[in-house]
Amino acid sequence: MKPDYEEKGIKAYLGDCLEVMPYIEDNLVDLTITSPPYDNLRTYENDLVWNWGVFTGIAKELYRVTKKGGVVVWVVGDATIRGSETGTSFKQALFFKEIGFNLHDTMIYMREGPPLSHNRYEQKFEYMFVLSNGKPSTFNGMVCHSKSAGQKRTSTMRQDSDSLGDRSAKGFVQETKLVGNVFEYSVGNNCSTKDKIAHRHPAIFPEQLAHDHIISWSNEGDTVLDPMMGSGTTGKMAKVLKREFIGIEKVPKYFGISTERIRDTKVQGVLNL
């Protein structure tokens, strides 16, 4: 299938991902980073059909195209209907497991949003389900400074009984440790991205989010997919980080936004935050 936009290492298709994905080879993709429409919270130019059947079709295609050891990062939230969250995100995660994916990690995407007037605490996060086809073959874990660096390493552990046993480990706490699985980002104008054109899309996620997952779960030259590429954030960061990219977008307006962003991105460019 001929792409509607192409440059070195980049192929982008204007169309329904359920119609385009069957043209992608089996076991081709190292990493997918994408975000579905979240319980029809937005109409996306009235050009969207989203239901359980559409989701399951996409999920099965993702499993087919994902390499053994490959990863899918599924960024998702739930609508609240008649005072109850739908739980759709959990249903989707369980379906991914049913068709063969491992739920490798349930991560949290924290962000500050505008305050709302309601009778519950402010919503500050969405889920980032990290799904893998078998054990992930790549993990370039990000690290941070350990506050306990240099201290003697000691810990306690729970025994089979109700008592706590003392366990002293040899050595000292290292200078660095892996960051936690809660990623926090500032969002909005000049935070998610400085690309003004991107904000013509109603639901963009931060460039840094795409950046962090791309470096975590893939290596240079790997193939990254976004079957619902929206404003093109995943594609832009894949290009910056020297990955191959396949993108699919159904809405012509958003396809134009995403391909313009990708086209104007320099491979050796600095992260545009």
Is 92 in a helix, a strand, or coil? helix
What confidence score (pLDDT) does residue 45 get?
56
Whole-number Å distance between alpha carbons of 22 and 246:
13
Whether 38 and 76 have beta carbons less than 8 Å apart is answered as: yes
For the chain, the C-alpha Rg in angstroms (whole number) is 20
163 to each of 108, 156, 160, how far by Cα in Å?
32, 10, 8
| Residues in the chain, overall count | 273
Average confidence (pLDDT) over 165-190: 74
- pLDDT surpasses 50 at 161: yes
- pLDDT surpasses 50 at 273: no
- pLDDT surpasses 60 at 25: yes
Q: Spell out where the chain has E strands.
A: 5-7, 10-14, 29-34, 66-76, 80-81, 84-85, 102-111, 125-132, 143-145, 152-158, 164-172, 176-178, 182-185, 223-226, 244-249
- In angstroms, how far is CA 136 from the centroid of its own chain? 15
- Rounded to 10 degrees, the C-alpha dihedral 24/29/34/38 comes to 60
Q: Which residue has the higher pLDDT, 44 or 62?
A: 62
Whole-number Å distance between alpha carbons of 41 and 56:
19
- Assigned architecture for domain 5-142+180-263: 3-Layer(aba) Sandwich (3.40)
DSSP annotation of 210:
H
pLDDT in tens, 132-157: 999 999 999 999 988 766 566 655 54
User: Which residue type is seen at 231?
Assistant: S
- pLDDT surpasses 90 at 80: no
Domain positions in the chain are 5-142+180-263, 144-178
What confidence score (pLDDT) does residue 113 get?
66
Helix (H) or strand (E) holding 211: helix 207-217
What confidence score (pLDDT) does residue 239 get?
97
What confidence score (pLDDT) does residue 117 get?
66
pLDDT in tens, 221-258: 999 999 999 989 999 999 999 999 999 999 999 999 99
| C-alpha dihedral sign at 232, 238, 242, 247 | negative
- pLDDT surpasses 70 at 175: yes
- pLDDT surpasses 90 at 189: no
Answer yes or no: pTM beyond 0.75: yes
- pLDDT surpasses 60 at 41: no
Confidence band of 168 (pLDDT split at 50, 70, 90): very low
What confidence score (pLDDT) does residue 270 get?
46
Backbone angles phi, psi at 94, to 5 degrees: -70, -35
Alpha helix ranges (H) inside 31-183: 52-65, 88-98
Neighbour-count burial of 118, counting CB atoms closer than 10 A to its CB (0-12 exposed, 13-18 middle, 19+ buried) = exposed
Closest CA to 218 of 243, 198, 240, 249: 243
- pLDDT surpasses 50 at 186: yes
**Strongest mean pLDDT among 23-32, 75-84, 112-121, 169-178:** 23-32
